[in-house]
Structure 1
Amino acid sequence: MNYGRYLTAVSRARKSLSLSKLVEIQQRASPGSLIALSTGMPNTSCFPLSSAHLYTRKGKKLDLSPLWMNQGLQYTMSQGHPEMVEWGKQLQRRKHNPPTDYLNHEGKMDLCVTAGSQEAICKTMEMLVTQGDNILIETPTYPGLLSIAKPMGCNMLEVETDEHGPKISSLRSILSNWNPTDSADVWSDIPRVFYTVSSGSNPTGVTTSLERKQQVYQVAREYDFLILEDDPYYYIQFTKTPVPSYLSMDVDGRVIRFDSFSKILSAGMRIGFATGPQPLIEKLVYHMQVCTQHANTLSQMICLLILQDWGQEGFDAHMESVTEFYRKRRDIIVESCDTWLKDYAEWTVPDSGMFLWMKLLGIPDTGDLVMQKALDAGVLFAPGNAFHANDATPSPYLRASYSQAPEEDIDKGIQRLAALLKKELKQTASG
């Protein structure tokens, strides 16, 4: 893997800040072993907080000691607090067992803690993509990615999806414009990245099947592009066994994986992490150094406090609980759609995540219906065109989220949509 060919000129020019190594040395030193007269870190005795007591929903008390509080209020390494980084690596090994993790070369796996996966995605895109570049994305896709990519001036090549994930025929049709046997110098505009939400896709709720992932990975090897695996819903899969990730099959070191604690621990603490080949994660860390410096240290310490209290078994038990919570809500909205919408819409039952993607029959575009008429009827959805690169294109789809509304309101909302559609189609027929 020649990682230099994927990087923008700015990313290639980034180097580690000369003083950042001093912070790492100071943080890794055992207490009392080093007199630090080097860094400009503030003295924590000037900060107003000294300790904190946290209580879980089950009533257990967790103590954020003065030592941990001081660490939480202080600068930390741009890659993340050392214990948080190591915890993340162990999680990836346990859940995905990346093939590149144990290879004795510079392409081995590494990890960077970020302010949620959104920061990781944004910084990675800035690291790999510049104006005029061609990039591969799923359609429909996560609008947060569209908000990043559109102002960059890149050309988004939309890969069609179905109930199994990205369609290989669509991917190969796009890439047929290039010859994979030619060198990168010949085809300087060949796509170098493919962005995909691999579990519980936002908006479709689809989890890409293992067979489809293997096919996508093979195409990536043929055309030598990177796979950006956005997977915030990996731990909310409703199947008995989670579908293996792209990271778990990455024998080349061409996958950058984005995980998030937002859906399973806390959205407001803003903790996520990027996992991938060491040379690329290193460049991501250099970007962190000159931007946010690091993810919120106090949030990292609170996460560590919870995770260490749980242990591996406790973490897995919590994930099972979260999955069951959303599975129940998924079942409620699907049952409601079966009852009220069978004559007005089509949908695929989501196998993970928080979303139901439905096509409204006889409605060429849901924009006006969702943003005006449904809102007037007291129910709010997301219009389908928000999930496409060209949001001016009419879309008969809408996204329903079953994560927030009280359970008893989910059925009411679907009933209101059914009544609205009945009225709309009646007016269309009479007009």
Structure 2
Amino acid sequence: MAYARFLTERSLKRKDNYMRRMSEKVLNASIVQENPSIITMAGGTPYPHTFPIQEVSLKLKNGKRIDLDEKATRIALQYSGTKGLPPLVNMLTELQCRIHNPPTYKAEGHPGPLDLIVTSGSQDGLCKVFESMVNTDDKVLVEHPTYSGTLAMLKPITTKAILVESDIDGLNPASLRQALSPWSPFDATRPGSDIPKVLYLVPNGGNPTGAGLTLDRKKEIYKIAQDYNLIIMEDDPYFYLQFTKPYVPSFLSMDTDGRVVRFDSFSKLVSSGMRLGFVTGPQPLLERLELHMQCSVMHASGLSQMALYKVLEDWGIEGFLKHAETTAEFYKTKRDQCLAIMEKHLKGLAEWTVPSGGMFVWVKLHVEDSHKMITVRAREKGVLFVPGSVFMMDSSKPSPYIRASYSNCTEEQMDTAFQRLAEILREG
């Protein structure tokens, strides 16, 4: 694939930071090889013995203690390479190969034209990739309704987002074809064409809908992306929180062309406060992300990366997958409790879909617009939901929907919350 057409003018102007690249080579050699022969008077790295923290200890909930000894702590507290700590990057690459087996990786585990970068949460990576690929007034295909954080990223960049409708099975391929109907596949090869270049979607446990794409739909969407030469931005923080097994294969797993940029997160599985995610995708596109990071955050938190690496090293991939499965089962139980309570209180007052994963249920109230009801009356009654308009490109339009999250409430709290909502709806 030729990737230049997908990059913004500003992104193409970014140049490699010599100081960062040189420092990374020295730092990575020190981390991986512990090469004592390297003497550098070039970098601006602080003298580590001036840092007050010497060691860090983590106690897991199973009672096990994981210690970051003096050497690991010293590495964690110092500047590191933009892509991430090499041992963590290697472990995450192994995880991606194990779970997704990307076709664009060569045989025998040697990486081909695919790259992986650790980011300060997947949202930071998502924001930077949008900025590297979407010019002002570019047309972008966006699953709708969609994550409010994505709307916050896109609205300042472009006013020409093209909405692609989704339902309980995720983004609808028929709606995608309809959105692309003003163009022909030939337009994707024509210089100066205003055909969209990027498709953004959340394939599992969608926020706010809880919907998950079926495999058949994924295959159809990927074929459309091939026909119209689209990059698929696969924002998938809930991949491991699918409620049925086996996991529905990812777009990355079927990406024979190198047209998928995938965003993963540890916020739902290990810690949201660590602010760690990772982006996997074609090297020419992730190179732009790396250059952006070089002049912004430089790299994700070293202490967070080292702590995560030590936990994953202790677990191994099998241990991580077991933890992910246990976490998914917990949220599935919470979902089932939520649905039963909604049936008890909201039957005849609202409609809802059954989430296939994640933490949210999408509820259509039997009202014209939920905004004032939820932001004023529900708050007065001591219950909080999110009005559906928040997840719409045009938030000024009426929406009867609300998003309810079952992740942090007890069964008793959910019962009280939906009872209060039902009272408000009956009051009219």
Answer whether contact 1:247 1:255 (CA < 8 A) is retained. Answer: yes
Answer whether contact 2:10 2:132 (CA < 8 A) is retained. Answer: yes
The question of 1:50 aligning with 2:18 is answered: no
Query: Where does residue 33 of structure 1 map in the other structure?
Result: 37
Query: Where does residue 383 of structure 1 map in the other structure?
Result: 387
Pick the aligned partner of 2:251 from 246, 250, 263: 246
Query: Where does residue 315 of structure 2 map in the other structure?
Result: 310
Answer whether contact 1:129 1:154 (CA < 8 A) is retained. Answer: no
Give the partner amino acid of 2:253: S
Pick the aligned partner of 2:166 from 157, 161, 166: 161
Pick the aligned partner of 2:88 from 84, 88, 91: 84
CA distance in 2, matches of 1:142, 1:412: 27
CA distance in 2, matches of 1:203, 1:236: 14
Answer whether contact 2:188 2:228 (CA < 8 A) is retained. Answer: no
Q: Counterpart of 1:307 in 2: which secondary structure?
A: helix
Pick the aligned partner of 2:338 from 333, 350, 353: 333
Give the partner amino acid of 2:343: D
CA displacement 1:65-114 (0-9 Å, x = unmatched): 00110011100001111111111111110110000111899971110000
The 1:183/1:316 distance shift into structure 2, 3 A limit, reads closer
Answer whether contact 2:237 2:263 (CA < 8 A) is retained. Answer: yes
Query: Where does residue 22 of structure 2 map in the other structure?
Result: 22
CA positional deviation for 1:13: 1.5
CA distance in 1, matches of 2:373, 2:352: 18
CA displacement 1:114-152 (0-9 Å, x = unmatched): 000010000000000011100000110000000001011
Query: Where does residue 324 of structure 1 map in the other structure?
Result: 329
The question of 1:75 aligning with 2:76 is answered: no
CA distance in 2, matches of 1:128, 1:183: 15
Answer whether contact 1:184 1:190 (CA < 8 A) is retained. Answer: no
CA distance in 2, matches of 1:292, 1:107: 27
TM-score by length of 2: 0.96
The 1:231/1:183 distance shift into structure 2, 3 A limit, reads closer
For these two proteins, the number of residue pairs brought into alignment is 423
Q: Counterpart of 2:270 in 1: which secondary structure?
A: coil
Pick the aligned partner of 1:190 from 188, 191, 195: 195
The question of 1:149 aligning with 2:159 is answered: no
CA distance in 1, matches of 2:101, 2:7: 26
Query: Where does residue 365 of structure 1 map in the other structure?
Result: 369
Give the partner amino acid of 1:18: Y
CA positional deviation for 1:312: 1.5
TM-score by length of 1: 0.96
The 1:107/1:311 distance shift into structure 2, 3 A limit, reads closer
Query: Where does residue 12 of structure 1 map in the other structure?
Result: 12
CA positional deviation for 1:59: 1.3
CA positional deviation for 1:6: 0.3
Q: Counterpart of 2:177 in 1: which secondary structure?
A: helix
Give the partner amino acid of 2:45: M
Answer whether contact 1:332 1:411 (CA < 8 A) is retained. Answer: no
Answer whether contact 2:345 2:418 (CA < 8 A) is retained. Answer: yes
The 1:187/1:10 distance shift into structure 2, 3 A limit, reads closer
409-418 vs 230-239, which moves further: 409-418
Answer whether contact 2:103 2:255 (CA < 8 A) is retained. Answer: yes
CA positional deviation for 1:183: 4.8
RMSD, matched Cα: 1.5
Answer whether contact 1:106 1:278 (CA < 8 A) is retained. Answer: no
The question of 1:406 aligning with 2:422 is answered: no
Query: Where does residue 286 of structure 1 map in the other structure?
Result: 291
Answer whether contact 1:330 1:402 (CA < 8 A) is retained. Answer: yes
CA distance in 1, matches of 2:312, 2:110: 31
1:97-176 equivalent positions in 2, closer than 5 A:
97-102=101-106, 108-176=113-181
CA positional deviation for 1:367: 0.2
Give the partner amino acid of 1:109: L
Give the partner amino acid of 1:193: V
Structure 2's unaligned 5+ residue stretches are none
CA distance in 2, matches of 1:70, 1:407: 44
Structure 1's unaligned 5+ residue stretches are 425-431
Query: Where does residue 231 of structure 2 map in the other structure?
Result: 226
Answer whether contact 1:232 1:258 (CA < 8 A) is retained. Answer: yes
Q: Percent identity?
A: 46
